[in-house]
Amino acid sequence: MAAPDGALLCLCFILLCPGILGDEDSTPRCGYQACPAVKPEMLNVHLVAHTHDDVGWLKTVDQYYYGGKTEIQRAGVQYILDSVIPQLQADPSKRFIYVEIAFFYRWWKQQTEAVKSVVKQLVNEGRLEFVNGGWCMNDEATTHYSSIIDQMTLGFQFLNDTFGECGRPRVAWHIDPFGHSREQASLFAQMGFDGLFFGRIDYQDKNIRKNLREMEMVWRASANLPKPTADLFTGVLPNGYNPPRMLCWDVLCSDEPIKDDKDLDEYNVDEIVSYFRQVAHVQAKHYRTKHIIMTMGSDFQFQDANMWYKNLDKLIKYVNAAQSSGSNVNVLYSTPSCYLHELNKANLTWSVKTDDFFPYADGPHQFWTGYFTSRPALKRYERMSNNFLQICNQLEVLAASKAQNGPYGVGDSSVLRKAMGVAQHHDAVSGTEKQHVANDYAKRLSKGWDRCEVLISNALSSLSGSKQDFVFCNKLNISVCPRIEELSNFTVTLYNPLARAVRTYVRLPVNGTKYIVSDPKGSSVLNEVVAVSNFTKALRKNRGYAVNELVFEAWVPALGFSTYDVSRKPERFTFRRLVRSLGELQDERTSTLFIENNYVRVSFDKNTGLISAIENLHKNLTLPVTQNFYWYHASVGNEQSNQASGAYIFRPYQEEPLPMSKIVNTYTVQTELFQEVYQNFSSWCSQVVRLYKKQKFVELDWTVGPIPVSDLVGKEVISRFDTSLKTSGTFYTDSNGREILKRRRNYRPTWPLNQTEPVAGNYYPVNSRIYMKDGKIQLTVLTDRSQGGSSIADGSLELMVHRRLLQDDQRGVGEPLSEPGFDGKGLMVRGKHFVFLDTVEDSPELQRLKAEAEYMAPLAVMGVGSEAPYNEHQAPIKEFSALKEELPHNVHLLTLAQWDSESIILRLEHQFEQSESKVYSKPQTVNLAHLFSAFEITSVEEMSLGFNQQKKDMSRLTWNTAQEKDGSNSFSSHNSTSEHTVTLHPMEIRTFRVRIRQG
């Protein structure tokens, strides 16, 4: 069944080939019922024609779409789709899968109605199948669950809008991400996927699984949700996502085609048929059913689909022809879902996996644990952009049409939503892209911010009833906001995206020394003015010149805003000098230096200037803690392996990192609102240890970079906390910001590990927190972005904050990770760690609430210039909440976003695990009708997590599992929503399509 030649195909395509397509019966036949016939008594080989299209990596997403910059990589996604569609159209037996909606959407926009209808027909017949179906194939180590859910929802939205039910993916397809998180699997299960396939798994794990025939299993991906809510059938693909050796027939490959004219030299059919049968039988030894899968395709393949399909046609023809002479191998065009369906029909009992697939190693000295930290500034920008997007989404709902169109222009949340969708890609937030591509991701986010700024301005103006010139200060972390520095009067409107009121400390660059700050009721609030530190001046360089920082505490109502007035006082007062200089500190070295508030005391070693102890004053807990920065000397290869540390791989040259400094210079700043110790570790590393008056944790505000490399040594910088806690090799890290996983040094829960990299092989992704504990005390560090972390010795925790390398690590990116920073002299990074010392019992509560408040922090928008009423009938208001009542502490408002003109997405999440808190780990009931004051709810429909199906219509394939855990928790996963009452169980997310009437 060889395909007709290309020219004929094109012609046929244009004329829509009524002969082929003229099928009056247009009822969709997609889904499992559309799967090809198999031969139950034979070994069935499911060929999956596919392309892996990175949403940016060596080229930007747009360059990949069009196929430009061929000198970097011969890859053009438009040509792939252009080329595949006529092949499918011409032959009903052919199949293709497509994955990345960021590309498909670009292509779709440019097609004619005729082509669109052809494609719809192919989708309706299951011949073109969408798998995964998110905006991108997201990274799993460095992504936050909030953004994973959003990017999947965005892809699903396009598919549902465009193709309806036949566009709904059944199978998750994470063939390239570099290790797999448990939370990702749990989210996939809750999105309704029947199975997950991936390609990358630790080489030791893979060998063992092959031998045990455990390449396919059921992943029980939540320790909280009742089975099978978070159960996901999971398959490890045999060859990553590539074809078997010698069987790659893409224009980018160089394997021999099938030469089937016996009259010609080099006839190779018999050879290939027998080789293929052998490959199939070998593969089948590692799998359990009479079905195996082969991924026929790879990165950006199928630009000339005819090459692949022509050879696959021959392969199928000749291998199957051998059946008449006794072969029991049956080859067919198939898809991952059709393969999955056969596995399900086999009705076997599958093993159960409950941990995750981190870290990933593809050799003894090749641990992919560097990317957990690579490009720390991009990682932070991505996390902040999620914060901003959630605020933008919420205000779009709260201000309705007045958000999109208003005095500030046309606002739009979709630009940032798409930019965030792209940024989740496994070569985006992961930090494994080329520098110019990283720049492109940041630029896209920034354009998204611009459009959201307009939307937010419109919304705040309409909700507050007042028009003013709004200034968004996006560089407050480096004390830069030129438009407010000189002003004697401005307002600060704080918007709080949480469903609970928050207290926050606002810190703004100013030039005055005395200010009056008034709260929304007009009472003046305590404020402090301190000098901008030299650390900050060195970091911001010529981007700003403010000399002081104004600090005050603000209160912001739930899902609402409050506006504070700031006015500068005449400067006849002398500036209170609060800063103690280094010289003064010398005097103090006779006594202990410490800072404290009502909750925490942090002591410093008087000789070294380093933190020496942390005390929880309420609970009377004291823990000696030494914190310092160190750097690992990056390996460039040695006699054991030539593997260098790079963008993906972390490989230190020696186990012991070098201390940044043994003695640090310090000075303190003490005010009524906060106390700070400034520590200067080196010319490129500093930290401020800060205690705000009412905060129960220590804030470590670190600045690292540019990492010097003039000694030609790549460096990987960590912040390390050393204590005397007896931790027996155990520590804990979060999975995508949600459930906690227990980690044990030099250990993997499911196989006997041969540890070959004592540092890199013990690194895990930290998306929001890492902690360690003994029987009584827990030390927790929350992060403001994803980082790699570990506990290399008992009582010790470390987080990698920055890395700069001089070698490429040979995994394709082809550039050493040496970020230039904004001035080309090397990237400087600033970030925060929040350190909690508490009892084991009380720790989760504080952590959960702070982690929530950190990733959905309040936004400060400055109002400058004269105010005008939004319209004459409206009196300006300075304090607003869209809620009638706050949500209880254990319920998080995960999503509040406009869906279409008549409905919104509402996601509520129980943010505690089962046994974390006596108070909060209980089921919680919320009445939606009593929640919002900004609008009235007219109807509520419960949806799947990805918003592409009603919850009641979700029906997933069921699987038999080996071990049935006893004492399994069993709240019904179909708990009803009576009227508008919603009950949430620990770690449960419930998603609703809500129709509203604006109040």
Contact residues for ligand NAG (CB under 6 A)? 160, 164, 947
Of 45 and 152, the one with the shorter C-beta distance to ligand NAG is 152
- Which residues in the 648-707 window bind Zn ion by CB under 5 A? none
Q: Chain-centre distance of CA 248, in angstroms?
A: 32
Residue 489 contact, options ligand NAG, Zn ion, none, Cβ 5-8 Å cut-off depending on partner type? none
Establish if 54 lies at the interface with Zn ion (CB under 5 A): yes
Applying CB under 5 A, the site for Zn ion has a residue count of: 2
Least distance to ligand NAG from the beta carbon of 989, Å? 16
Q: CB under 5 A: which stretch of 170-178, 765-773, 793-801, 868-876 binds Zn ion? A: 170-178
Of 644 and 905, the one with the shorter C-beta distance to ligand NAG is 905
| CB-based contact 867:909 (threshold 8 Å) | no
CA 780, CA 773: separation in Å to the nearest integer?
8
Q: What is the DSSP letter of 533?
A: P
Two tokens, residue 787 = 């980082």
Of 662 and 952, the one with the shorter C-beta distance to ligand NAG is 952
Least distance to Zn ion from the beta carbon of 425, Å? 8
Residue 250 contact, options ligand NAG, Zn ion, none, Cβ 5-8 Å cut-off depending on partner type? none
| Nearest Cα to Cα of residue 470 among 484, 485, 480, 449 | 484
Taking CB atoms, the residue at the shortest distance from Zn ion is 176
| Nearest Cα to Cα of residue 399 among 929, 880, 875 | 880
Residue 164 contact, options ligand NAG, Zn ion, none, Cβ 5-8 Å cut-off depending on partner type? ligand NAG
Of 227 and 951, the one with the shorter C-beta distance to ligand NAG is 951
Residue 947 contact, options Zn ion, ligand NAG, none, Cβ 5-8 Å cut-off depending on partner type? ligand NAG
If DSSP codes are grouped into helix, strand and coil, which group holds residue 870? Answer: coil
Catalytic residue check, 176: yes
Q: Chain-centre distance of CA 869, in angstroms?
A: 41
| CB-based contact 220:189 (threshold 8 Å) | no
| CB-based contact 19:335 (threshold 8 Å) | no
CA 758, CA 768: separation in Å to the nearest integer?
24
Least distance to ligand NAG from the beta carbon of 158, Å? 11
Residue 440 contact, options ligand NAG, Zn ion, none, Cβ 5-8 Å cut-off depending on partner type? none
Of 200 and 907, the one with the shorter C-beta distance to Zn ion is 200
Peptide bond into 482 cis (omega under 30): no
* Order of strands across the sheet that contains 527-531: 502-510, 548-556, 527-531
Least distance to Zn ion from the beta carbon of 426, Å? 5
CA 47, CA 292: separation in Å to the nearest integer?
9
Of 640 and 950, the one with the shorter C-beta distance to ligand NAG is 950
Least distance to ligand NAG from the beta carbon of 171, Å? 19
Of 164 and 226, the one with the shorter C-beta distance to ligand NAG is 164
Residue 570: CB atoms within 10 Å? 8
Q: CB under 5 A: which stretch of 46-54, 181-189, 840-848, 856-864 binds Zn ion? A: 46-54
If DSSP codes are grouped into helix, strand and coil, which group holds residue 608? Answer: coil
Residue 275: CB atoms within 10 Å? 15
Establish if 140 lies at the interface with Zn ion (CB under 5 A): no
Establish if 176 lies at the interface with Zn ion (CB under 5 A): yes
Beta pairing partners, 409: 406
Cβ neighbors of 526 (< 8 A, separation 6 or more) are 552, 553, 672, 673
Beta strands 730-734 and 715-723 are: unpaired
If DSSP codes are grouped into helix, strand and coil, which group holds residue 916? Answer: coil
Residue 549 contact, options ligand NAG, Zn ion, none, Cβ 5-8 Å cut-off depending on partner type? none
CA 6 vs CA 11, 84, 311, 972: distances in Å: 9, 11, 14, 55
| CB-based contact 782:768 (threshold 8 Å) | yes
| CB-based contact 729:743 (threshold 8 Å) | no
CA 406, CA 404: separation in Å to the nearest integer?
7
Least distance to ligand NAG from the beta carbon of 311, Å? 38
CA 217, CA 357: separation in Å to the nearest integer?
13
Assign residue 448 a region (left: φ > 0; alpha: ψ between -120 and 50; beta: otherwise).
alpha
Site mask for Zn ion (CB under 5 A), range 477-516, x = bound:
----------------------------------------
If DSSP codes are grouped into helix, strand and coil, which group holds residue 936? Answer: strand
Give alpha helix (H) positions in 773-909.
Answer: 843-855
Alpha carbon dihedral 429, 432, 435, 440, in 10-degree steps, equals -40
| CB-based contact 696:836 (threshold 8 Å) | yes
Of 51 and 628, the one with the shorter C-beta distance to Zn ion is 51
Of 160 and 344, the one with the shorter C-beta distance to ligand NAG is 160
Q: How far apart are the first and last CA of the chain?
A: 64
Least distance to ligand NAG from the beta carbon of 113, Å? 18
Least distance to ligand NAG from the beta carbon of 906, Å? 13
Q: CB under 5 A: which stretch of 171-179, 225-233, 350-358, 361-369 binds Zn ion? A: 171-179
Of 688 and 994, the one with the shorter C-beta distance to ligand NAG is 994
Least distance to Zn ion from the beta carbon of 304, Å? 21
Of 160 and 474, the one with the shorter C-beta distance to ligand NAG is 160
Least distance to ligand NAG from the beta carbon of 24, Å? 22
Least distance to ligand NAG from the beta carbon of 38, Å? 31
If DSSP codes are grouped into helix, strand and coil, which group holds residue 585? Answer: helix
Residue 224: CB atoms within 10 Å? 21
CA 680 vs CA 534, 641, 677, 684, 702: distances in Å: 10, 37, 10, 9, 10
Helical axes 269-284 vs 305-321, angle rounded to 10°: 80
If DSSP codes are grouped into helix, strand and coil, which group holds residue 731? Answer: strand
Backbone angles phi, psi at 189, to 5 degrees: -60, -45
Q: Catalytic residue among 91, 176, 313, 362, which?
A: 176
Of 425 and 850, the one with the shorter C-beta distance to Zn ion is 425
Query: Which amino acid type is present at position 915?
Result: S
What's the number of CA atoms in the CB half-sphere (13 Å) around residue 465? Answer: 10
Of 95 and 120, the one with the shorter C-beta distance to ligand NAG is 120
E strand or H helix at 377: helix 376-398
Residue 176 contact, options ligand NAG, Zn ion, none, Cβ 5-8 Å cut-off depending on partner type? Zn ion
Q: CB under 5 A: which stretch of 54-62, 75-83, 368-376, 581-589 binds Zn ion? A: 54-62
Least distance to ligand NAG from the beta carbon of 943, Å? 7
Residue 909 contact, options Zn ion, ligand NAG, none, Cβ 5-8 Å cut-off depending on partner type? none
Q: CB under 5 A: which stretch of 174-182, 493-501, 790-798, 954-962 binds Zn ion? A: 174-182
Taking CB atoms, the residue at the shortest distance from ligand NAG is 160
- Which residues in the 87-106 window bind Zn ion by CB under 5 A? none
Residue 54 contact, options ligand NAG, Zn ion, none, Cβ 5-8 Å cut-off depending on partner type? Zn ion
Least distance to Zn ion from the beta carbon of 299, Å? 7
Contact footprint for Zn ion (CB under 5 A): 54, 176
Please identify every residue annotated as catalytic.
176
